[in-house]
Structure 1
């Protein structure tokens, strides 16, 4: 029986809420769970979003998140990045500039020397007009909101 899931057996790690981490106490909004609908797990639990790849510079009003697609050929990379960006935009004060990108070397098109796809995803995720246009699409907005609403 074929499955729609690209990564049937992801490596699962404890979520930040299950670990002690002193830095997380300073800003919980950056690490709120985002569900990955292929699995009943959060992006953090399947190592897509990891605390050590989040940089918050309060003095410069910036947040940078590097995420790792679930597999090198992940077709959901843009949606995952958009969900991360929307979570941050909804959680952080307006003064923050948010930068969400695929971690270098984690997507097949980049590893093959064809970084056009990864670059394109990164460009889309960090272009205010493209993000606004994407969120005007009712079907896409429903998908994003589903990812941002815990189902547990």
Structure 2
């Protein structure tokens, strides 16, 4: 991917901003859950790998679907970005009661994979990341 980092950041933001909220009408962008300043991209020149760090804010501090939102972003990015991207999805500090637990769940490869094996979770994630018509 020969984009400069700002263009790359914009491409990544475009991928996550259209994800639908699992319970409210609207996208993550519409609900201010994701925002451009929350997307950080760094390139490791020596390896040609990208570090993608996404920060998001659940709508309320006890949002029960914050993990599902993070998982939806992770799955959509993994499906749409080349394998030379290391993706990290994190709830913004102070915006949820269980920030550390959510971040651990979403960013642990085995936990995320196990979650996606659950048919109900998979169905919800697929519904959230489905592209708008």
TM-score, normalised via structure 2 length: 0.83
> Which structure features the higher share of helix residues?
2
Note the alpha carbon deviations across 1:71-96, whole angstroms, 9 max, x for none: 11111111011111111111111111
Q: Could you say which structure has the greater relative contact order, defined with CA pairs below 8 angstroms and 6 or more residues apart?
A: 2
> In terms of Rg, which structure is larger?
1
Moved more, 28-37 or 133-142: 28-37
List gaps (5 residues or longer) in structure 2: 1-5
Which sits farther off after the overlay, 95-104 or 29-38? 29-38
d(CA) in 2 for partners of 1:126, 1:26? 20
| CA RMSD, Structure 1 to Structure 2 (Å) | 1.8
Aligned residue pairs total: 122
Q: Residue 62 of structure 1 contacts residue 97 of structure 1 at CA under 8 Å; is this kept in 2?
A: yes
Shift of 1:58: 2.7
For the residues of structure 2 that align with 1:61 and 1:45, how far apart are their CA atoms? 27
Structure-1 separation of matches of 2:119 and 2:9? 34
Unaligned residue ranges in structure 1 (runs of 5+): 1-22, 110-116
